[in-house]
């Protein structure tokens, strides 16, 4: 019993290792240039063993795209749409998102590929899109509340949410260097600006001062 449990744990670890390396490789080299053999080598596992844990390359890719979603989404959705001080809630949310995107460079590159070739990766895209819609809807609620309270200017909340998400993805797409979190932080004010914060008007100049020089890319 204990042995079996141990065995099970080891296998879980192995599976995780494969998946981690697969995400890395898929994101850097794309689907076709990532061969099973490369994944196996990177994972320190024999060639054939990959098929013990994932029935096919397609499945491995699917897992690589889908499995991390949940954790990420819980962070993305970690704000209170009913918050009294909507603007403050937005600020906190934006900072949290920026931090997240700064960290998840590798995985998000994979997401970009899936979105960029959504007809090729239809299944994966549909799942990503589901979460995207969920996110926009929830954020729209918060924005609506803020608008009602006069904390942010009127605008279509779904569009605003969508634009905000696009900005995050666009930043992730554009910031190709290994850029540290502080640098990313500089974009938080601009992201917030999208929502049209009213009391925020004055402070932008202060916040928007770069904390790190914009290295010439």
Can you give the binding site for DNA, defined by CB under 7 A?
3, 6-7, 11, 14, 32-37, 45-49, 51-53, 55-58
Residue with smaller CB distance to DNA, 11 or 212: 11
* Beta carbon of residue 96, minimum distance to a second copy (angstroms, whole number): 18
Please give the Cα distance from 4 to 10 (Å, whole number).
10
Q: Does 123 bind a second copy (CB under 8 A)?
A: no
CB 110 within 8 A of CB 64: yes
Q: Compute φ and ψ for 11, nearest 5 degrees.
A: -65, -40
Structure tokens, 27: 């994101």
| Contacting residue, 35, 37, 133, 199, with a second copy by CB under 8 A | 133
3-state secondary structure of 97: helix
Question: Residue 165 and residue 119: Cα distance in Å, rounded?
Answer: 21
Answer yes or no: are the C-beta atoms of 19 and 63 closer than 8 Å: yes
Q: Which of residues 137-176 bind a second copy (CB under 8 A)?
A: 153-156, 158-160, 162-163, 165-171, 173-176
The string of DSSP letters for 117-145 reads: TTTTTHHHHHHHHHHHHHHHHHHHHHHHH
CB nearer to DNA: pick between 3 and 213: 3
Q: Which is nearer to DNA, 93 or 114 (CB)?
A: 114
Q: Is the dihedral of CA 8, 12, 14, 15 positive or negative?
A: positive
Q: Is 199 near a second copy (CB under 8 A)?
A: no
Beta-carbon contacts of 13 under 8 Å, excluding residues fewer than 6 positions away, are none
Q: How far is the CB of 19 from a second copy (least distance, A)?
A: 20
SS3 72: helix
- C-beta of 128: minimal distance to DNA in Å? 22
**Hey, which residues between 54 and 93 contact a second copy (CB under 8 A)?**
none
11 contacts a second copy (rule: CB under 8 A): no
What residue ranges bind a second copy (CB under 8 A)?
A: 28-33, 109, 112-113, 115-120, 125, 129, 132-133, 153-156, 158-160, 162-163, 165-171, 173-176, 186-187, 189-191, 193-194, 196, 201, 204-205, 208-210, 214, 216-217
């Amino acid at each position: 019993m204990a042995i079996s449990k141990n065995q099970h744990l080891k296998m879980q670890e192995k599976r995780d290792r494969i998946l981690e390396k697969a995400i890395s490789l898929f994101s850097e080299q794309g689907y076709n240039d990532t061969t099973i053999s490369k994944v196996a080598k990177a994972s320190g596992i024999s060639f054939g063993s990959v098929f013990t844990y994932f029935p096919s390359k397609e499945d491995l890719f699917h897992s690589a795209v889908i499995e991390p979603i949940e954790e990420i989404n819980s962070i993305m959705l970690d704000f209170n749409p009913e918050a009294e001080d909507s603007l403050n809630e937005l600020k906190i949310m934006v900072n949290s998102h920026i931090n997240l995107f700064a960290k998840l460079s590798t995985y998000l590159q994979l997401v970009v590929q899936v979105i960029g070739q959504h007809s090729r990766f239809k299944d994966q895209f549909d799942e990503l899109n589901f979460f995207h819609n969920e996110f926009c809807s929830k954020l729209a609620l918060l924005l609506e509340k803020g608008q009602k309270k006069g904390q942010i200017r009127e605008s279509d909340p779904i569009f605003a949410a969508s634009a905000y998400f696009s900005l995050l993805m666009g930043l992730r797409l554009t910031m190709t260097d290994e850029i540290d979190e502080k640098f990313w932080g500089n974009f938080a004010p601009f992201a917030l600006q999208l929502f049209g914060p009213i009391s925020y008007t004055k402070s932008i100049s202060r916040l928007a001062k770069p904390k790190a020089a914009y290295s010439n890319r």
